[in-house]
């Protein structure tokens, strides 16, 4: 059970993340500027902070509750990196982003909403590369999701599956 304060923090974090992704995509950052296109690749460092739990093994089917748990893990990792701006939290964020990209599309999520989710997650990775260059960015969305982004559908799915 989430406390009212945690719910407010999650809602604020989600709103900031969605607005940030929209601005990132709106300024052309979300088109073909994926981290691997910028030549930022390598293997992850073995050290990472235990403060942010990894997303569990990838299930064959993802329920809205499972998606919400994985998304909140992403929000927590992003918040942790934003507050610390260090290699350990950057590596944690990349690990969680990789897990989000490999997560099957949740039950009930449209292809356009999935693309918007992937853009949101991918939009956090350039900050890691810019702030902590020693962190390897090897996470990228699955190119199989080639639908047009649908931010409204993603927002609606997020509100339905992760109510504040």
For the chain, the domains span 4-161
C-alpha distances (whole Å) from 145 to each of 21, 54, 116 are 18, 23, 10
Reading the chain (164 residues) residue by residue, the pLDDT tens digits are 455 555 554 544 544 444 444 434 343 444 334 333 333 343 444 444 445 555 555 567 899 999 999 999 999 999 999 999 999 999 999 999 999 999 999 999 999 999 999 999 999 999 999 999 999 998 888 877 778 999 999 999 999 999 87
Q: Which residues contact 30 (CB under 8 A, 6 or more apart)?
A: 21, 24, 119, 122, 123
CA–CA distance, 65 with 72 (Å, rounded to integer): 11
Both tokens of residue 16? 């900031």
pTM to 2 decimals? 0.66
Q: How far apart are the first and last CA of the chain?
A: 11
């Amino acid at each position: 059970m989430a406390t009212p304060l945690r719910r407010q923090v999650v809602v604020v974090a989600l709103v900031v993340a969605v607005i940030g992704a929209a601005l990132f995509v709106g300024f052309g950052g979300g088109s073909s500027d994926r981290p691997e296109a910028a030549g930022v690749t390598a293997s992850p460092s073995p050290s990472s902070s235990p403060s942010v739990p990894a997303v569990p093994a990838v299930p064959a089917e993802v329920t809205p509750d499972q998606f919400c748990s994985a998304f909140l893990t992403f929000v927590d990792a992003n918040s942790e990196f934003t507050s610390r701006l260090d290699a350990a939290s950057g590596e944690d964020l990349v690990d969680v982003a990789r897990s989000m990209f490999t997560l099957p599309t949740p039950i009930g999520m449209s292809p356009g909403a999935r693309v918007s989710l992937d853009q949101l997650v991918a939009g956090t990775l350039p900050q890691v590369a810019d702030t902590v260059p020693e962190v390897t960015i090897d996470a990228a969305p699955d190119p199989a999701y080639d639908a047009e982004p649908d931010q409204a559908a993603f927002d609606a799915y997020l509100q339905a599956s992760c109510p504040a």
